[in-house]
């Protein structure tokens, strides 16, 4: 009888396999492979060579705390196995003098990590385009678009999904989920589904139900944590969460939740991108109408219903098949980790098919109705005066503008609004809106769209207007147009100069009284108290236009500004002897000068590199407690923090950092300057690191 084989050594060929599986950026010493793709291991025998036909090799792979063949968390397969008997297949490649491709008696060959595979046509996350795979899986930096619809600016972000320990933190995140804690066997069995994984990750990035990664904070006090505007990368956040025993990191807002989600999903192998929606609706009662309330000075009031229009909102899209939905709804799916509303009892949102959103199929899983309202709800403006509410106008086009993401292998912005909605004002767009509204009405009991305790609104038959009727604008009634126009770029530290343009489009004289006000806004649309008010009396001849100049000085707004740097100016006009009102508003985002980053000399792997950072104080007052933070995957192994101290008014300074790049290819350096007066002066530069 032949002597049994003894395995002396196992070579998982991690370095070679990882290159083939696009995981070599994560590690060259640990085996990380993608499902649906072969990988090689070499087994060295102690006593004799492997003999085909005589010897057989049986492999066992297991995952999770309770591996189970029936759940798919355990697989048994052999070299002589029949195709189809197991989803796992082993085959003999070569035989050396004392090598073979598997054990005979029981040996533990080693551990490996199995990831989703967008390169494999049979995988649910398969993405056909190689440039898209490089952008949405492999790229470790990008931009998150912020500002407002009239002033869109890119915020650089270090995703760092392949940085040291990030893969382990991502797996730890799955193990800390409520799903795993309650039923680990079922949770592990479902981890092969990108739909399931995306819901788990969406819930775990926020901490509302669990020890998730981030605490949200939309107030003004961040003294016991980090102001969300200061973050510029996911790595520091995930490592802090891990280092503190999975205690939520303080603090995040929507772009931080989305950026960390992008890091985790790309790390796990699911193609993911970050999306910004300008003027994003948050409809709390599911009637697809966002009510806004104003007083007679034109200032916006705190919303009783908590409906709101966010200046911008950021979420993710993840690419996957949707076999749980009717055909045609796979592809990009909305995933939103910002804790706004619950879904099946947890604060998570999605995946919602982008195509389902565009077509108004709001009854499809998951959370499609909420996602639809973010891009396509209507806005209703109300005047609150003397205890009564007067409808000012209803606008169908305010919500959902300039939906943006980073372009593929480019630093340009890609506008993807047409993926979410038909052209505003088109018949198709109104038909989809009505279709969505009818589906929502059908899904709840009669009269439940609004309760008696909520503010009076228009009847449902009036709210979506007939398909042929355009949005009711104030000028349709009073034939007078009001519009704000900035005279200068709104730079932080400078006075804000603008004019109110008044145009009489009628053949009659018009006498107008216009109340103007300015107030700071928080990022989620919540208003702060007005800090500037004015009243204009304007007389217009038939078809005459006039301008009314306005100025808000730095000293007037500086102490009232939130860290979001948002100012909302409003004008409420009324014609003499007429009950009609005209409302016009504009949001201003104050801008900082960017940090300039200069790479001094050629960037080569494992060679010293000097980086110059140039920054300045934009204010006409001294700022203190200045800290400069610099990071960049492949260039710095950890965040660089430099205490600057005091910067005098308009003072410009520079410093030089030394580093040794450890990864080749296209990389990005991000920098942030904070002080006691501002938190997020940012800058970035791209650098190619050669071998």
Give the catalytic positions in this structure: 254, 313, 336
What are the residues whose beta carbons fall under 8 Å from the beta carbon of 256, sequence distance 6 or more? 214, 228, 231, 237
429 labeled part of a ligand binding site: yes
- The per-residue DSSP string of 601-633 comes to S--BTTS-EEEEEEEE--SSS-EEEEEEEEE-T
For residue 582, the cross-strand partners are: 573
User: Taking the CA of residue 83 as centre, how many other CA atoms within 13 Å lie in the half-sphere pointing to its CB?
Assistant: 1
Eight-class DSSP state of 56: -
CB 277 within 8 A of CB 244: no
Rounded Cα–Cα distance for residues 180 and 168 (Å): 16
CB 155 within 8 A of CB 145: yes
Rounded Cα–Cα distance for residues 555 and 683 (Å): 27
For residue 188, the cross-strand partners are: none
Residue 603 Cα distances to 600, 631, 639, 662, angstroms: 8, 16, 19, 10
- The per-residue DSSP string of 340-380 comes to SS-BTTBS----EEHHHHHHT-TTSTTTHHHHHHHHH-EEE
User: Taking the CA of residue 422 as centre, how many other CA atoms within 13 Å lie in the half-sphere pointing to its CB?
Assistant: 12
Q: How many other C-beta atoms can be found within 10 angstroms of the C-beta atom of residue 651? A: 13
Q: What is the largest CA-CA distance in the chain?
A: 113
Closest CA to 314 of 346, 269, 282, 276: 276
Closest CA to 176 of 204, 149, 196: 204
Rounded Cα–Cα distance for residues 12 and 42 (Å): 6
CB 315 within 8 A of CB 258: yes
Eight-class DSSP state of 594: P
140 labeled part of a ligand binding site: no
What are the residues whose beta carbons fall under 8 Å from the beta carbon of 498, sequence distance 6 or more? 484, 485, 486, 487, 549, 550, 551, 569, 586
Rounded Cα–Cα distance for residues 593 and 650 (Å): 11
CB 410 within 8 A of CB 323: no
376 labeled part of a ligand binding site: yes
424 labeled part of a ligand binding site: yes
Could you tell me which residues are annotated as the binding site? 376, 378, 424, 429
Could you tell me which residues are annotated as the binding site for Ca(2+)? 376, 378, 424, 429
């Amino acid at each position: 009888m032949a002597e049994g084989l003894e395995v002396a050594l196992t070579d998982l060929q991690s370095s070679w396999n990882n290159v083939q599986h696009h995981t070599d950026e994560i590690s060259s010493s640990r085996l990380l492979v993608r499902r649906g793709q072969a990988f090689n291991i070499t087994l060295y025998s102690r006593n004799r060579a492997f003999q085909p036909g005589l010897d057989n090799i049986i492999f066992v792979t297991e995952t999770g705390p309770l591996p189970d063949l029936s759940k798919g968390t355990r697989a048994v397969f052999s070299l002589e196995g029949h195709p189809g008997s197991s989803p796992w297949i082993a085959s003999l490649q070569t035989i050396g003098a004392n090598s073979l491709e598997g054990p005979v008696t029981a040996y533990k060959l080693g551990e490996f990590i199995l990831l989703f595979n967008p390169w494999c046509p049979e995988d649910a996350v398969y993405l056909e385009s190689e440039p898209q795979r490089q952008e949405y899986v492999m790229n470790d930096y990008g931009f998150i678009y912020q500002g407002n619809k009239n002033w869109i600016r890119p915020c650089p972000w270090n995703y760092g999904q392949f940085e040291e320990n990030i893969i382990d933190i991502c797996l730890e995140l799955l193990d800390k989920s409520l799903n795993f804690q309650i039923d680990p066997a079922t949770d592990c069995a479902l981890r092969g589904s990108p739909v399931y994984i995306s819901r788990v990750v969406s819930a775990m990035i926020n901490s509302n139900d669990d020890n998730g990664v981030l605490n949200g904070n939309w107030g003004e006090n961040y003294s016991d944590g980090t102001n969300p505007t200061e973050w510029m990368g996911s790595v520091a956040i995930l490592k802090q969460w891990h280092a503190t025993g999975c205690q939520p990191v303080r603090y995040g807002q929507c772009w931080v939740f989305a950026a960390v989600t992008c890091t985790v999903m790309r790390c796990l192998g699911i193609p993911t991108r970050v999306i910004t929606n300008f003027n994003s609706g948050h409809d709390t009662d599911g009637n697809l109408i966002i009510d806004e309330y104003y007083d007679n000075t034109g200032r916006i009031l705190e919303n009783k219903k908590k409906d709101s229009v966010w200046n911008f909102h950021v979420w993710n899209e993840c690419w996957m098949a949707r076999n749980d939905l009717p055909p045609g709804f796979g592809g990009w799916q909305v995933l939103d980790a910002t804790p706004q509303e619950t879904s099946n009892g947890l604060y998570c949102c999605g995946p919602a098919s982008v195509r389902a959103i565009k077509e108004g199929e709001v009854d499809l899983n998951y959370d499609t109705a909420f996602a639809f309202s973010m891009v396509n709800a209507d806005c209703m403006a109300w005047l609150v005066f003397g205890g009564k509410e007067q409808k000012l106008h209803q606008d169908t086009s305010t919500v959902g503008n300039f939906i943006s993401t980073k372009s593929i292998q480019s630093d340009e912005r890609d506008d993807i609004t047409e993926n979410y909605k038909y052209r505003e004002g088109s018949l198709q767009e109104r038909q989809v809106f009505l279709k969505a509204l009818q589906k929502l009405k059908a899904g709840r009991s009669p009269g439940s769209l609004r309760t008696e305790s909520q503010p009076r609104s228009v009847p449902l038959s009036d709210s979506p207007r007939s398909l042929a009727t355009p949005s009711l604008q104030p000028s349709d009634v009073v034939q007078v147009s009001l519009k704000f126009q900035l005279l200068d770029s709104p730079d932080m530290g400078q006075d804000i100069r603008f004019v109110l343009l008044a145009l009489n489009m009628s053949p009659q004289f018009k006498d107008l009284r216009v109340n103007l006000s300015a107030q700071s806004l928080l990022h989620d649309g919540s208003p702060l108290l007005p800090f500037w008010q004015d009243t204009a009396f304007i007389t217009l001849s038939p078809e005459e236009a006039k301008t009314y100049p306005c100025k808000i000085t730095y000293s007037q707004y500086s102490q009232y500004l939130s860290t979001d740097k948002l100012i909302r100016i409003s004008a409420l006009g009324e014609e003499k002897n007429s009950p009609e009102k005209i409302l016009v508003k504009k949001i201003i985002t104050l801008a900082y000068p960017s940090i300039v980053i200069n790479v001094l000399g050629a960037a080569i792997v494992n060679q010293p590199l000097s980086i110059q950072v140039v920054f300045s104080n934009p204010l006409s007052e001294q700022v203190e407690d200045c800290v400069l933070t610099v990071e960049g995957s492949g260039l710095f192994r950890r965040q660089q923090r430099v205490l600057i101290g005091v910067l005098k008014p308009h003072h410009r300074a520079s410093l030089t950092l030394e580093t040794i790049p450890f990864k080749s290819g296209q990389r990005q350096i991000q920098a942030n300057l904070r002080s006691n007066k501002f938190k997020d002066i940012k800058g970035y530069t791209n650098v190619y690191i050669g071998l």
